[in-house]
Amino acid sequence: MSAVIFHVLTLFPEMVIQGLSPSVIGRAWEKKVISLDAVDIRDYTTDRHRKVDDYPYGGGAGMLMQAQPVYDAHRAVTGGKKIRTIYVTPQGTPFTQAKAQELAAEDELVFLCGHYEGIDERVLEEIVTDYISIGDYVLTGGELPAMVMIDAIARLIPGVLGNDFSAEEESFYNDLLEYPQYSRPEEWHGKKVPQVLLSGNHQKVTQWRLEQARQRTAERRPDLYEKYQEKQLLIRKLARHKRNNIHLVESLTRGCAEVLYSDIMLAGHSAEEHTAAEIYSAEGKRIAAESVLLYDRSCKTCMALAADMASGEAIAERLPADTELIIVSEPYLKELLKQRGYKVLGSYIQVLYTRKEALPVKHREICRLTMEHYPYVCRWYCNDGKCGPGIDDAYVRERIQAGAMYGAFIEGSQVGFVGIHSEGSLGMLFVEESFRGQGIASSLEAYAVNRMLEKGWTPYGHISAGNTASVKLQEKLGFYRAEKNYWWLEKTLANSTLIC
């Protein structure tokens, strides 16, 4: 489910079309990954002189765009359907990356660009769902802001930048400004490329870049730096119970999740002194002393950790309304969420791979999947091989387009697959029955683990609690097991796209 259609209502349609056409966005438009149309509001005037503006009641400088042409242009574009409509205006809330992510999840978006001194309030009340500005400075119209937003949103849509998943940066520099970069020649205007970059020592290079990124952020964006430090503190705290919290630690370090609630944050920087209630595993071992609610906007997935009943309530209160999936590890939080209309999809065991060495891959024929393999994956993943292809699964489609699925083949024909879920866990492992027992599943998983290691991620996964064969496989590959159970819950009203 991605924003594929952008409509722009404007008095200067050619400005929008010509502005976006030569860019990466234009190429995506040519490839039909997105669609863009700019509608001239003037085409909808009923005035003999094609006039669209008039004087403001109560007086004041300049002219206003009238309600009727704007309304009719909007109506022509939506055909009466309810489509998210953004009025780009200096009176809006500031545009952010989080907003871009939220809007990228829509199928269709309308941008309304104002001119003159603004638009008659009455039509705004009827058609606008979001008021957004791109910053505190004054422009001459809304076209550039609409283009800025379309650019930022479109590049998040799978297929626009090519292979998202494979192009994703390593984890370490999220939340920080970028480090300085150098290309040939080695010396220019008497300035030498920093020695460490020529050393060939990958670890030292990473360390140096991280330090540069930190310094730069502290200096130029103290606001971001403070948030970064707070988040690092939370990560360190959660990482004390890495086996149990790897899913939280991973999505935080990779920058996929926002913190919606944390009692560590409430405690400010005195995390060490903070005395949160502690919870215990079945064997009576201490396994958590803090509560956290994370939200991965891109897949509408929440991950929660509750230290006690009260923080469980606090977490339930803060779930975003559009949450589709929740991963929890406390039975009472699971029960609480069931009462709030979520349904348990399954109970899982969490496993993680903490070593840095790549795993051996014995089966030779493994590669990244493309949409050509979509019918195969869909047949087995969504339908147990019962139905033929053609049953659509948006999730599988998105994962393949993101470059997050790999397949095993024998003499060119597919026999299985594995994938990386949108929240970062390994999963979707499947090998056809007649090809089992030859180490293909093991190779597939090892292959995916190696891809994750290359990105600097810690591979982890959730195995269905009853799947002893899979648990054995994970142990063989060198995975460790968490002490807790994990439940995945989904919204009961949502149509049941299967997420195993």
Query: Is-cis flag, bond preceding 185, omega within 30?
Result: yes
Pick between residue 136 and residue 273 the one whose CB is nearest to ligand 9D3: 136
> Which window, 140-148, 224-232, 272-280, 417-425, contacts ligand 9D3 (CB under 6 A)?
140-148
Q: Can you tell me which of 81, 82, 137, 223 binds ligand 9D3, judged by CB under 6 A?
A: 137
Contacts of 355 (CB under 8 A, 6+ apart): 478
139 binds ligand 9D3 (CB under 6 A): yes
CB of 70 to ligand 9D3, least distance (A): 14
Pick between residue 131 and residue 409 the one whose CB is nearest to ligand 9D3: 131
19 binds ligand 9D3 (CB under 6 A): no
422 binds ligand 9D3 (CB under 6 A): no
Give residues 433-462 in contact with ligand 9D3 (rule: CB under 6 A).
none
Question: Which residue is it, tokens 């609690």?
Answer: 465
Half-sphere exposure of 249 (CA within 13 A, CB side): 20
Pick between residue 57 and residue 137 the one whose CB is nearest to ligand 9D3: 137
Q: Can you tell me which of 14, 30, 43, 117 binds ligand 9D3, judged by CB under 6 A?
A: 117
Contact letters (x/-) for ligand 9D3, 179-218, by CB under 6 A? ----------------------------------------
CB of 153 to ligand 9D3, least distance (A): 15
Element housing 463 (H / E): strand 460-464
Closest Cα partner for 12 from 39, 37, 36, 35? 39
- Residue 480, helix vs strand vs coil: strand
138 binds ligand 9D3 (CB under 6 A): yes
141 binds ligand 9D3 (CB under 6 A): yes
Whether 399 contacts 407, CB under 8 Å: no
Give the separation between CA 368 and CA 359, rounded to whole angstroms: 17
Element housing 383 (H / E): helix 374-383
CB of 241 to ligand 9D3, least distance (A): 44
77 binds ligand 9D3 (CB under 6 A): no
Give the separation between CA 29 and CA 160, rounded to whole angstroms: 9
CB of 20 to ligand 9D3, least distance (A): 16
Pick between residue 93 and residue 166 the one whose CB is nearest to ligand 9D3: 93
Pick between residue 143 and residue 308 the one whose CB is nearest to ligand 9D3: 143
Tokens of 207: 């360390």
121 binds ligand 9D3 (CB under 6 A): no
Give the separation between CA 79 and CA 482, rounded to whole angstroms: 52
Contacts of 422 (CB under 8 A, 6+ apart): 296, 298, 299, 301, 395, 398, 399, 402, 404
Give the separation between CA 75 and CA 235, rounded to whole angstroms: 48
- Residue count of the chain: 500
Integer Rg of the chain from CA? 26
> Which window, 138-146, 271-279, 318-326, 446-454, contacts ligand 9D3 (CB under 6 A)?
138-146
468-477 and 440-454 helices cross at what angle (nearest 10)? 50
Question: Which residue is it, tokens 């047949």?
Answer: 379
> Which window, 110-118, 123-131, 162-170, 387-395, contacts ligand 9D3 (CB under 6 A)?
110-118
Torsion angles phi and psi, residue 280, rounded to 5: -125, 150
Whether 350 contacts 394, CB under 8 Å: no
Q: How many CB atoms lie within 10 A of CB 500?
A: 15
Contact letters (x/-) for ligand 9D3, 84-103, by CB under 6 A? ----xxx-------------
162 binds ligand 9D3 (CB under 6 A): no
Pick between residue 29 and residue 95 the one whose CB is nearest to ligand 9D3: 95
> Which window, 97-105, 113-121, 227-235, 325-333, contacts ligand 9D3 (CB under 6 A)?
113-121
Tokens of 422: 């949108």
Q: Can you tell me which of 93, 135, 219, 362 binds ligand 9D3, judged by CB under 6 A?
A: 135
13 binds ligand 9D3 (CB under 6 A): no
Q: By CB under 6 A, name the binding residues for ligand 9D3.
A: 88-90, 114, 117-118, 133-135, 137-142, 145
